[in-house]
Amino acid sequence: MSRTRTAGRAFLIAALLSCTTLATTGARADDGVAKGDTSAKKIAFSNSYAGNSFRQVMIKSFEEMGAKAVADKQVAATAVVSSNNSVTEQASQIENLILQGYDAIIVLAGSDTALNGAIKDACNAGITVVAFASGVTEPCAYVVDYNLDSYAKAELDFISSKLGDKPANILEIRGMAGDGFDKRLHEGVEKAMKAHASYKAVGEVYGQWTATVAQKEVSGILPSLPQVDAVLTQGGDGYGAAQAFKAANRQLPIIIMGNRQDELALWKQEHDASGYQTFSLGATPSVSQVAFWVAQQILAGKQVPKFVEVPLLQINQPDLDAWLKTVPEGGVVNAEYPQELVAKIIDANVKKEPLPGVPAPK
């Protein structure tokens, strides 16, 4: 190789290393909280349904975070509208928010597709749209959501840790028919079940994430079921399921809980009495705070991927008492998601690193 070619190659390598360094430096420059001025921006929350404790805490979490952000002059105003599970009304409410000049709208949609027209109108008007905890398919929207395949896998993995590979009958309590969250979590269950060939799905009901509905639906199907070894849930339905088994004088199976106070209290009561063990996981109502800060950070100029995964909050036996003490009667385990934590979650998504979780309370 000639000296000229050698020198040229050395120059090329140096140039490539320089580019790599600049790219790395550029990526790090996007880390952390974006500081763009959003003090004049307005962020609204379009909610599809407010009929259970989870959604009510979700709204309260958004309002509290929004009020603090306004007081800190991070945004100018926030608003919440709910549509009583009517997608037609929710679409109309989004159109009104467009006319009212909001800069960002976070959306918990009542349908994967029925709001696409209104969301597209918002994007065309220059409004940032962040859909969360629902399967909105309009591509202009950012999506903040959980990995529901992981949700289902965690449920089946826990059951497997207790039952092993022996044959077991599984009852699934789903959420609300037609809801995007329910459909995607059910698809995750179907995938997870394939990893446990000895487990058999023996029944399926819709509990609407509500204890009273779950109790009624499980009570209705129990007489037709053989022994049930485990119950898969979506949150808010575990307590009702347990009451149905008790009322039928049937042995309490492993019921995966969903971070509600009544579920955790029942779990503790059964554990203290007989050593009963299960575990609990679920979405946190304050995922609305994650969506809020993602929207604010986009307005502030942060580069955010179109999909931002949020970590699930899981409770295991050693942490049961600590979490239970934090939940008011009738409430849901909740966690605060301040701006700094959400920025870290965004960065972890960009870098494909493990997501920062919420530690158990001391």
Confidence of residue 21 (pLDDT cuts 50, 70, 90): very low
Rounded average pLDDT over 60-81 = 97
Predicted TM-score of the model (pTM) = 0.73
Q: Is the pLDDT of residue 7 over 70?
A: no
pLDDT at 13: 41
Q: Is the pLDDT of residue 186 over 50?
A: yes
**Region at 146 (left for phi over 0; alpha for psi -120 to 50; beta for the rest):** beta
For the ranges 114-123, 185-194, 227-236, 277-286, the lowest mean pLDDT is seen at 277-286
Rounded average pLDDT over 19-40 = 65
Chain mean pLDDT for the chain: 90
pLDDT at 56: 87
Q: Is the pLDDT of residue 30 over 70?
A: no
The pLDDT tens digits of the residues spanning 292-314 come to 999 999 999 999 999 999 988 99
The phi and psi torsions of 326 (rounded to 5 degrees) equal: -90, -10
Rounded average pLDDT over 276-288 = 92
Higher pLDDT, residue 295 or 53: 295
pLDDT at 31: 87
Rounded average pLDDT over 261-288 = 95
Q: Is the pLDDT of residue 209 over 80?
A: yes
Q: Is the pLDDT of residue 264 over 90?
A: yes
Rounded average pLDDT over 140-156 = 93
Higher pLDDT, residue 152 or 51: 152
Q: Is the pLDDT of residue 230 over 60?
A: yes
For the ranges 28-32, 118-122, 150-154, the lowest mean pLDDT is seen at 28-32
The pLDDT tens digits of the residues spanning 72-87 come to 999 999 999 999 889 9
Q: Tell me the three-class secondary structure of the chain, residue by residue.
A: CCHHHHHHHHHHHHHHHHHHHHHHHHHHHCCCCCCCCCCCCEEEEEECCCCCHHHHHHHHHHHHHHHHHHHCCCCCEEEEEECCCCHHHHHHHHHHHHHCCCCEEEEECCCCCCCHHHHHHHHHCCCEEEEECCCCCCCCCEEEECCHHHHHHHHHHHHHHHHCCCCEEEEEEECCCCCHHHHHHHHHHHHHHCCCCCEEEEEEEECCCCHHHHHHHHHHHHHHCCCCCEEECCCCCHHHHHHHHHHCCCCCCEECECCEHHHHHHHHHHHHHHCCCCCEEECCCCHHHHHHHHHHHHHCCCCCCCEEECCCEEECHHHHHHHHCCCCCCCECCCCCCHHHHHHHHHHHHHCCCCCCCCCCC
pLDDT at 110: 87
Q: Is the pLDDT of residue 18 over 50?
A: no
Q: Is the pLDDT of residue 91 over 80?
A: yes
Estimate the crossing angle of helix 238-247 against helix 211-221, to 10 degrees: 40
Measured CA to CA, the distance from residue 62 to residue 291 in angstroms comes to 9
Measured CA to CA, the distance from residue 95 to residue 73 in angstroms comes to 26
